[in-house]
A and B are shown apart, each in its own frame.
Chain A
Amino acid sequence: MREIVVISGKGGTGKTSITAAFAHLASTQGGAMLCDLDVDAPDLHLLLAPDRREEHEFRSGFEAVINPETCVVCGMCFDLCRFDAVQRPSPEDFLGYGVDPLRCEGCKVCVQFCPAKAIDFNEKHCGQWQASNTRFGPLIHAQLFPGSENSGRLVALLKKEARTRAEAQGLSLILCDGAPGIGCPVISSLSGASQAVLVTEPTPSGRHDLERVAELCRHFRIPASVIINKFDLNLGNTQDIEDYCMEQGHAVLGRLPHDEVVVRAMVQARCVTELPATAFSESLRSIWERIVNLEPTAQARPELIQPTPNA
């Protein structure tokens, strides 16, 4: 099983448009299990028009809820909470203490130490996940409710579903639209991936974030290769990024021009490769060929995977 995760660190580099085009190209070559790991702001479905076959609740973590009937208004919870999640009673409408669910981290300290045992600890319903069909194959995707945390676990859950279903359906490739940033969700996105494709742009933020995600890939020993989108915005920066990749041993998969076809495709809910050929889509096709033909290093941790020789 090969698992390719497309990430960018910075948003707006064209990651999702590129992933959708890869999904199209993969569908003409045996197909792939598709997976949108950007559970915070998923966009892949806007291009793939999924037909939702299954929908599941995602529950994760707990939240504290103060019962006003039994609260003795001692303020212990307020004093102990390290997350400023407990709010004082307001002077005009006296309702006792309350917990702001946006700030509550579900640590249980207030529940444990409340002398009146007035705080419940409830499981949190954080979002929904779906298994769908698209014109390019099966898609696993999700939507977290706004303000929810714990998306790392949802990402892990989606990846597990994608792997199980890929195996069951005889698909040897999993193609993931990764989460943005470098925190928990993207760490979960990369976990166990055979290969990361980093989409960047020749801007200071693009470069800065590329270095951060490349460092993350190195940290987790995932081979990373790079696509420079909108390369013609700044040729000097493009060259610098390529030099950086060379130095760091990341394959540069190719350059893509700044092209309005990306937006035109998006508005029509199509992939760029489904529209008449442009320089952009042609470059993208050859980049995909390069990805497919990359040495399947697959196993990211060769030095650790070797078992100790039997004594």
Chain B
Amino acid sequence: MNTGIIAVTSEGPGLESMVDARFGRAAGFVVVDLASMAVSYVDNSGSQTMAQGAGIQAAENCARAGAEVVLSGFVGPKAFQALAAGGIRVIQNVEGMTVGQAVDKFQRGELAVADAPNAPAGGNPGGGGKGEPA
């Protein structure tokens, strides 16, 4: 799992930015090419203002960035379906850390790929309980 391109939902443009727990309405994505560790940023603010379908739009943005794996907090069912159709693996429940820390965890194999969405349609949980990584 240590090669490929991963996209992490992010509140800001770099590895030191915090992970944005939201997928569809994330501020943006930090895209990391694990082979070269090259970092780029994809703005997702267009999705934030959409009346509906933000998750699908965000999935399209990830696909366009060439991502093979997405790291985020909460991914809804439609976004999950879209990412799956695009052959993009999803790792969720990633929050409360910087993008760089999330990437490290991923590289150490501490994050598991999800097989089901963890948020209801049209939004994400407001916090509270967290799924502790196993």
Contacts and interface: CB of A to CB of B under 8 A. Distances in A.
B20 to A, nearest CB: 11
Contact of A308 (B52, B109, B115): B115
Contact of B127 (A153, A163, A304): A163
A305 B134 contact: no
Nearest to A123: B49
A191 B111 CA distance: 26
Given A192-B125, A300-B125, A305 B93 contact: yes
B116 interface: yes
B129 A299 contact: yes
B122 A1 contact: no
A309 interface: yes
A297 interface: yes
Contacts of A311: 112
B124 interface: yes
Contacts of A150: 51
A194 B129 CA distance: 9
The bracket for how many chain A residues form the interface is 35 or more
Given A297-B129, A299-B128, A308 B113 contact: yes
B120 A298 contact: no
Interface residues of B, number: 31
Interface string B104-124: 000001111111111111111
Contacts of B112: 307-311
Contacts of A188: 122-123
Interface in A1-35: 1-3
Contact of A307 (B51, B92, B122, B126): B92
Contacts of B128: 1-3, 194, 296, 298-299
A107 B58 CA distance: 21
Given A192-B126, A308-B115, A160 B131 contact: no
13 contacts: A1-B127, A61-B51, A159-B123, A187-B122, A188-B122, A192-B120, A296-B128, A301-B125, A304-B117, A305-B129, A307-B111, A309-B134, A310-B112
Interface of B: 25, 50-52, 92-93, 109-131, 133-134
